[in-house]
Chains A and B, each alone.
Chain A
C-alpha cells in the first residue's frame, strides 16, 4: 500500500495493465512526450515506446473509431479525450459504432475511453462538462465514475479488462486533491456502489467529485447520514440504491451534471418506481441548472453543486 493521488492511481492502472498485457495501448492528443494535458500518461512513453503510447492527430472520431478497429482485431485500446467535452466530436463513433456492435453483430469491442471531466476551475463551457448521461442513454456502453484513488485504479483496470466499450469519467477536480491508500498490485474493483459513509436518517446518493463534496457537506450535521457512492452508472447498482432508501427513507441525489435527464434523474425515477412506499419525503435533487458552465468564478460557483448547496438540501429534507 502506498498513498497515491487519484491521478497517480490512474497512471498506475495504465502502467500495470500495459506491463501485464501487451495488447493494452494508449492513444490520444499529446499523451506521448508531453504526458497528456493533465500528465496522466507521463512516463509511459519512456517505458513502453511510441507504438504503445501514441500521439494522435486532433481527431476525436478518428481516435475512437480507430480504437474500435484495434479492439475488434484483438487489442485493448485506452483512448484519452483531452477533455471530456471533446468526446462530442467522436460521439457517433461511441454510440453508433462501438456501443451497438455486439448487439448487432456479436462482435465484442473491448476498449476504454478516458474522459477528464467536470468543472470548478474556470474552464468555461468547453472544459468543464460532465457528459456521462449522454452515454448512459446509449445502449452497449458501460459508464464508470470513481471518486477515490483506490477506486480510480481498480475501476480503470476493470474497464481495460472488460470485453465492452467503457466510458471512464475521471474528475479533473479530484486529480490532485484526492489521495489515499492504494494497493500496489493490480486489482479489479466491482462495478457496484459503495457506502462511503453509513447512516440511518437520510441518504445522499452521489458519484465522482460530488462524493467528497457530500461527505464534507454532512460533516457536522447532527443526524445519521449515509453517503452512497455509485461508482458505476452503467451498470447501475439498483439494489444498493433501494437498500439504502429502505433504510433511511429520505434521499438527496446529487449530480454535477446539468439537471435534465442526468444520472440523478434516473436514480430518482428508480426510487419513485420501486421504493415509493419506503419514502418519508419527496426525493430531493441537487444538480447544475441547465446552462453551459460559465467561466467567471462567481458565476461558476453559483451554479455548480458543492458542500454548501448539498448541506442546505440535506438540512431541508431532514426537517421535512
Chain B
C-alpha cells in the first residue's frame, strides 16, 4: 500500500482535513485527557470503585483513528487507552462518568467498570480484558459487511502485548484469507503492563503483519493527523475490497498500567523525552493563531464539570435488577451507528 512517505499528510497537513476538523481532533483529545484527569481525581476521592486506567499520552491514536470512520463503521473495541474512540462516536460524557462510578447508566447499567464499556447504540462494542479477543470480533463485523455487500468497515485497537496471544494470529491470518474490510490499529506504547517488548516477541508485529498478507504501515502515534490519514487510507482500501490493514501507531504509555501502578520499571528520562512529544501539544501548536486554545480548553472544562455534576447526581446502579439481562428476551438489536464528525462524511451523512 501507499507508504506514509508518499502521502504528505503523514507530516500533519492532510488536505482532507479542514481547520474545523483539526480543531475537532484537538477538542476530542482535550476531552479525553480532561475526562481522565478528572476520573483519576474521583478515583482518589473514592468515588470511582475498582481501579482507574487512562491513556495519557496516547490520545492521538483513538481520536485520530475513529475520526476517519464513517457512521456505520463500528469500533470493536476501544481498549483501556482509547477513551477517545467513545467520545468521537458520540458517547454521552455524563454516561461515561456514571459508568466509571458504578451509577445507573444506559450503557453498562453498573455491570461493567473502567473503560470496559461501549455504547452499542453508537457503534461501539465494549472490550473484554482478554486482549486481542475483540480483533476477532471486528473481523466478524467486517465479514458481515462483506457478505451483505455493504460499504462499511470495522476497526479494532490492540496493544503490543496482545500480539503474543493466539487470537491475534487467528485474526490476522483470517482477515488476510478473506480479505476482510477491517483495520487493526496497533498501539505500540512500549509496555505490556511492566513487560518490555524484548520479553514479548522476537519479531516486531509490523513485520509479522506482512508475512500474513496484511498491508501494514507505521505512523507517529502522537500525531493525530498522521493517525487519521493512515486510517482514512486503510478505510478506502477496505471499502474497495483490497483487504485488511494493520497500522502501527508508535507512542508511549505515560502513566502506569492502572492507577495502582507506580511504573517504577520505566526510566524517568524516557518519560521526560516522550513528554516533549505530547500529542495535544503537537496539535495545539498547529492550531496556534487559528483557534483560541484557551477558550477551547475552557469549553472542554465546562463540559466536564457539567458531566461530573450530572453523574454525581445520579443514583448508584440498582441491585434489585442485578439478575436481569443475562439473556436477551426480545428481538436482537444489531450494533448501531455513531457520529462521524469528519467533514469528509458531511455529504453522505
Contacts and interface: CB of A to CB of B under 8 A. Distances in A.
Contacts of B125: 72, 105, 107
Nearest to A59: B170
B128 A51 contact: no
Contact of A104 (B108, B133, B137, B334): B108
A61 to B, nearest CB: 5
Interface string A275-306: 00000000000000000000000000000000
Nearest to A105: B126
Contacts of A66: 136-137, 139-140, 143, 174
B128 A103 contact: no
Interface string B324-335: 011111111111
Given A56-B174, A103-B325, A69 B111 contact: no
Contacts of A92: 130, 133, 167
Given A57-B170, A57-B173, A97-B128, A69 B327 contact: no
A65 B334 CA distance: 16
Given A92-B130, A110-B332, A69 B120 contact: no
Nearest to B145: A73
B142 interface: yes
Contacts of B108: 104-105
A73 B325 contact: no
A107 B133 contact: no
Given A102-B326, A139-B326, A62 B136 contact: yes
B141 A140 contact: no
B140 A70 contact: yes
Contacts of A163: 327-332
A73 B141 contact: yes
Instruction: Give the secondary structure class of B's interface.
Output: loop
Nearest to A99: B326
A167 to B, nearest CB: 13
A232 interface: no
A70 to B, nearest CB: 4
A260 interface: no
Given A107-B120, A163-B330, A69 B138 contact: yes
B147 A25 contact: yes
A73 B144 contact: yes
Nearest to B109: A106
B296 interface: no
Interface in B85-99: none
A224 interface: no
Which of the listed residues B145, B167, B325, B327 has the most CB atoms from chain A within 10 Å of its own CB? B327
A105 B332 CA distance: 13
Nearest to B147: A51
B335 A72 contact: yes
B136 A61 contact: yes
Contacts of B130: 92, 96-97
A51 B329 CA distance: 29
B8 interface: no
A56 B143 CA distance: 12
| Range, interface on chain B | 35 or more
B53 interface: no
Contact of A70 (B143, B173, B177, B330): B143
A14 interface: no
A67 B138 CA distance: 10
Given A105-B117, A105-B120, A163-B331, A65 B128 contact: no
A73 B140 contact: yes
B325 A69 contact: no
Nearest to B140: A69
Nearest to B134: A97
Interface in A65-85: 65-75, 77
Contacts of B139: 62, 65-66, 69
B107 interface: yes
Contact of B144 (A59, A70, A139): A70
A110 B327 CA distance: 10
B141 A72 contact: yes
Contacts of B120: 72, 105-107
A102 B334 CA distance: 12
B138 to A, nearest CB: 6
Interface of B: 74, 76, 107-109, 111-112, 116-118, 120, 125-126, 128-130, 133-134, 136-145, 147, 154, 166-167, 170-171, 173-174, 177, 325-335
Closest 9 pairs (CB-CB, A-B): A69-B140, A65-B136, A108-B332, A73-B144, A62-B170, A74-B334, A66-B140, A108-B328, A163-B328
30 contacts: A52-B147, A61-B133, A61-B136, A62-B170, A65-B137, A65-B167, A66-B136, A66-B143, A66-B174, A70-B143, A72-B125, A72-B137, A72-B141, A72-B335, A73-B74, A75-B144, A93-B167, A97-B128, A103-B325, A104-B111, A104-B116, A104-B126, A105-B111, A105-B117, A106-B120, A107-B125, A109-B328, A109-B332, A163-B329, A163-B331
